[in-house]
Structure 1
Amino acid sequence: MRRLGCLVLIVGAVIFAVFAANFLYGWNASGPLENDTEIIINRGATLGLAAKLLEEEGAIKSADSFLNRAKILGSSEPIKAGEFLVPAGASNANILALLQSGKTIQRLITVPEGMPSIMVHETLMAEKLLTGDIPVPEEGSILPDSYSFERGEKRADVVGRMQQAMKDTIAELWPKKTAESVVKTPEEAIILAAIVEKETAIASERRTVAAVYSNRIRRNMMLQADPTIIYPITKGKPLGRRIRRSEIAAVNDYNTYAMVGLPKGPIANPGRASIEAVLDPVKSDYLYFVADGKGGHIFAKTLEEHNANVAKWFAIRRERGEM
């Protein structure tokens, strides 16, 4: 009887060991998923609901087995909501850790510096993973940047984050305005920054371009910024041709060739650096600038100097066959 009892104990121990090993192996072994798969966990979903979804998607073999192992071998941290990318062959342990980590799929919409609101609208409407309709955002209300979003998120919510980012940026930068700045309100700062943004893409030039326009405003001179001619025609989109003489002479609320002072509103969504530039332009006597043919600009203090620089620019354009 003793031998029989010992044999039963040994057999029982072996069976338990085999079961325990299989239980542990099933937790850490590669899973059945053949390809990386996007899994959406809705807000408020329990681990049980998530397990059923994972089984349906083929990420795990059995929801019940997954839950049993998770209760004993997994962390007690709650799972997060969102869209997750489950790698091919992910183990039960790795899947639970992923859902608990909150490392959802990062999808981005990028608004480049100087993009007009009509193009921001087109970009958002073209993103098929977003939902809902939106009007064209107010010009100058969007801070250019890259914004993350989730599948199924409302476009209005994304726009709200973009606009809040601009409000926060202005609130941060406005107190840093220096004596060299001529803008009187945050709204004027955005208007002038949008012009600076459209006039130069070179970071080192922004504060100098801002200085030119600031000096012109102080002297009650016309700003004569070409992008302000284009805005009423295309709402900020590229014109695709040379500006006509009639457009230069057109009288409207934006054309700074036919008015003194700032336009009535922004002509684009300026980036942080351009806003900083108009709030703290360099101290200089420059009143003019023209392209240098190399992607930058040549600055001048007098009209005589400027005309000489323009002549050089025209010569470069003639050599290129542009005139």
Structure 2
Amino acid sequence: MWKNLASNGITLLIVAMALLAGAIGWGMNQYRGEGPLEQAICLRVEPGSTLREVSEDLAGQGAVAYPQILRIGADYTDLADDLKAGSFLVPERASMEEILGIVTRGGQSTCGTEIVYRIGVAAVEVEVRELDPATARFVEVAEFTPGAGEVPAAYTEMRDRDDTRYRVAMAEGATSWQVVEALKSADFLTGEVGEIPAEGRLAPDSYEMRPGDSRESLLARMEAQQEERLAEIWADRAEGLPYDTPEDALIMASIIEKETAVADERPQVASVFVNRLREGMRLQTDPTVIYGVTNGQGVLGRGLRRSELDAETPYNTYRIDGLPPTPIANPGLESLRAAVDPARTEYRYFVADGTGGHAFARTLDEHNANVARWREIEADAAN
């Protein structure tokens, strides 16, 4: 009898161990295998949330089938106490193991709301955007101009959320004065700006910010990036340029930036000015004259007057030889590249062609014909 009992006990133990091994294997497959989520979601983890709350939220949104397995996995991997507050993008079919990595990894939120403060050449705009998990693209929720009318409720609401991300996007061609003035109305930044940075020394780009960051620190980042870009492109410059210093290249790049918004044209525009400098011709470019009138403080908003074109100023390239004394805006990377590696052309002239681009010419006769066509386009548009 004792032998039978012992035999039965061993059998039961083997069966129990087999069942336990099977349960563990099943649990591991559930934990590491493809999840049930059919479409990506934004998971918001509130400050102070527990793993139980988060796992139940995930189950409610269809991201996990067994929230208790996620909690067991978190305990086993020592991640149970590492939850990070924020909004996180959980991709479709993400495993529990992948989801735990997403909500415990740290860093900035990967989902939710983003406030973009856009510093343009003519205006400043604030855009409130929200990520659409299904497409992983941001969708505009609200847009407004600071100081002009009522602030949208969406902005006020998102400003108070811990997981809202901030970016300052500076457009190519904005002046340093415009950037500093714009930053004064960025209410998520702090501090005063002691001195306007030198013209041309700020790198147009998109900068991630945090509420409470100082305006001076942002400007310092912009200056450091432009200095790095300028050093890099100057080291790779073409031979035989008609200017000898990185500062001259920066001045040229700023003129190119203000002359065309068409990226593909920048090397050609650069070639016109480089050819003119090589042959001792004056640059004769309106943007430099405009800068001499406005000093970079805002947009002229009208055509140049004959008196302004005839005036003897350091920025009037109809009256002076060579380059103006400083840049006339903050050029982007592509304009910097064009300034140090212009296209190889015989062009000396260009004029608007009515499509947003320019018609280029080698001789004055060709240029005059292009000008005549442009005037016809202007006349037709006015009728």
**Which string of whole-angstrom CA distances, capped at 9 and with x for unpartnered residues, describes residues 271-310 of structure 1?**
1111111111122222111111111111122222222221
1:281 paired residue number: 342
1:85/1:288 Cα in 2 relative to 1: closer, same or farther (>3 Å)? Answer: same
SS in 2 for 1:161: helix
1:288/1:69 Cα in 2 relative to 1: closer, same or farther (>3 Å)? Answer: closer
2:227 paired residue number: 167
| 8 Å contact from structure 2 (residues 168, 209) kept in 1 | no
| 8 Å contact from structure 2 (residues 200, 329) kept in 1 | yes
1:293/1:150 Cα in 2 relative to 1: closer, same or farther (>3 Å)? Answer: closer
Q: 1:237, CA displacement in angstroms? A: 3.3
Q: 1:76, CA displacement in angstroms? A: 5.0
1:150/1:112 Cα in 2 relative to 1: closer, same or farther (>3 Å)? Answer: closer
> Please, which of 168, 186, 189 is the counterpart of residue 109 of structure 1?
168
Matches within 5 A, 1:165-314: 165-231=225-291, 232-233=293-294, 235=296, 237-314=298-375
SS in 2 for 1:260: coil
TM-score using structure 1 length: 0.71
Q: Distance in 1 between matches of 2:294 and 2:190?
A: 28
Q: Distance in 1 between matches of 2:279 and 2:327?
A: 22
Gaps of 5+ in 1: 1-35, 41-51, 62-66
Q: 1:127, CA displacement in angstroms? A: 2.7
| 8 Å contact from structure 2 (residues 176, 330) kept in 1 | yes
Matches within 5 A, 1:41-56: 53-54=48-49
Q: 1:190, CA displacement in angstroms? A: 0.7
Query: Is residue 131 of structure 1 aligned with residue 192 of structure 2?
Result: no
Equivalent AA in structure 1 for residue 350 of structure 2: F
| 8 Å contact from structure 1 (residues 290, 298) kept in 2 | yes
Q: Distance in 2 between matches of 1:79 and 1:265?
A: 52
Asked which structure has the greater RCO (Cα within 8 Å, sep 6+), the reply is 1
Q: 1:268, CA displacement in angstroms? A: 0.8
SS in 1 for 2:372: helix
Equivalent AA in structure 1 for residue 380 of structure 2: E
* More helix per residue: 1
Q: 1:53, CA displacement in angstroms? A: 3.4
2:158 paired residue number: none
1:152 paired residue number: 211
* More strand per residue: 2
| 8 Å contact from structure 2 (residues 178, 296) kept in 1 | no
| 8 Å contact from structure 2 (residues 45, 54) kept in 1 | no
Question: Which stretch has the larger CA shift, 137-146 or 192-201?
Answer: 137-146
TM-score using structure 2 length: 0.61
Q: 1:210, CA displacement in angstroms? A: 0.6
Q: 1:114, CA displacement in angstroms? A: 1.4
Q: Distance in 1 between matches of 2:376 and 2:234?
A: 42
Q: Distance in 1 between matches of 2:45 and 2:184?
A: 24
1:150/1:178 Cα in 2 relative to 1: closer, same or farther (>3 Å)? Answer: closer
1:295/1:70 Cα in 2 relative to 1: closer, same or farther (>3 Å)? Answer: same
Q: Distance in 1 between matches of 2:211 and 2:226?
A: 24
| 8 Å contact from structure 2 (residues 281, 321) kept in 1 | yes
Q: Distance in 2 between matches of 1:237 and 1:191?
A: 19
Q: 1:166, CA displacement in angstroms? A: 1.1
1:220/1:208 Cα in 2 relative to 1: closer, same or farther (>3 Å)? Answer: same
1:13 paired residue number: none
1:180/1:311 Cα in 2 relative to 1: closer, same or farther (>3 Å)? Answer: farther
Q: Distance in 1 between matches of 2:186 and 2:269?
A: 35
Equivalent AA in structure 1 for residue 238 of structure 2: T
Q: 1:118, CA displacement in angstroms? A: 2.3
Q: Matched residues, percent identical?
A: 39
Q: CA RMSD in A?
A: 4.5
1:170/1:68 Cα in 2 relative to 1: closer, same or farther (>3 Å)? Answer: same
SS in 1 for 2:350: strand
Gaps of 5+ in 2: 1-41, 57-70, 91-95, 112-164
Q: Distance in 1 between matches of 2:168 and 2:209?
A: 11
1:224/1:282 Cα in 2 relative to 1: closer, same or farther (>3 Å)? Answer: same
1:150/1:203 Cα in 2 relative to 1: closer, same or farther (>3 Å)? Answer: closer
